[in-house]
Amino acid sequence: MKIILFGAPGSGKGTQAIVLSEHYKLKRISLGDIFREEVKKDSSLGKEVKSYMEKGLLVPDALVSKVVEENLNEENFILDGYPRNLNQAKTLDKILEKKGESVDAFIYLEVDEPTILERLTKRLVCKKCGANYHMVNMPSKKTGICDSCGSELIQRKDDTPEVIKKRWEVFLNENKSLLDYYKTKNKLIAIDARGNKDIVLERIKKLL
Ligand code: ADP
Ligand code: ZN
- Cβ-defined contacts of 34-40 (< 8 Å, 24+): 34/67, 34/71, 35/59, 35/67
Compute the distance from residue 99 Cα to the ligand 2 centre, in Å. Answer: 34
pLDDT per position as a tens digit, 148-171:
999 999 999 999 999 999 999 999
**pLDDT at 56 (0 to 100):** 95
SS3 at position 6: strand
| Domain count for the chain | 1
Domain assignment present for 12: yes
Indicate which CATH number applies to the domain containing 56.
Answer: 3.40.50.300
CA 206 remoteness from chain centre: 21
Domain assignment present for 161: no
**pLDDT at 104 (0 to 100):** 96
pLDDT per position as a tens digit, 39-89:
999 999 999 999 999 999 999 999 999 999 999 989 999 999 999 999 999
Domain assignment present for 168: no
**pLDDT at 45 (0 to 100):** 96
Domain assignment present for 54: yes
For residue 130, pLDDT over 90 is answered with no
**pLDDT at 3 (0 to 100):** 97
Q: Which domain holds residue 51?
A: 2-112+175-207
Strands 27-30 and 188-192, bridge-based pairing: unpaired
Domain assignment present for 93: yes
Q: Which of 156, 165, 187, 194 is catalytic?
A: 156
Domain assignment present for 195: yes
Per-residue confidence band for 95, with pLDDT thresholds at 50, 70 and 90: very high
**pLDDT at 188 (0 to 100):** 97
Going by C-alpha positions, the residue among 143, 163, 164 that lies closest to residue 154 is 143
Q: What is the mean pLDDT of the chain?
A: 94
SS3 at position 154: strand
Domain assignment present for 136: no
Domain assignment present for 104: yes
Q: Which of 28, 36, 119, 123 is catalytic?
A: 123
194 CB less than 6 Å from ligand 1?
Answer: no
Q: What is the mean pLDDT of residues 180-197?
A: 95
Please state the pTM of the whole predicted model: 0.90
81 CB less than 6 Å from ligand 1?
Answer: yes
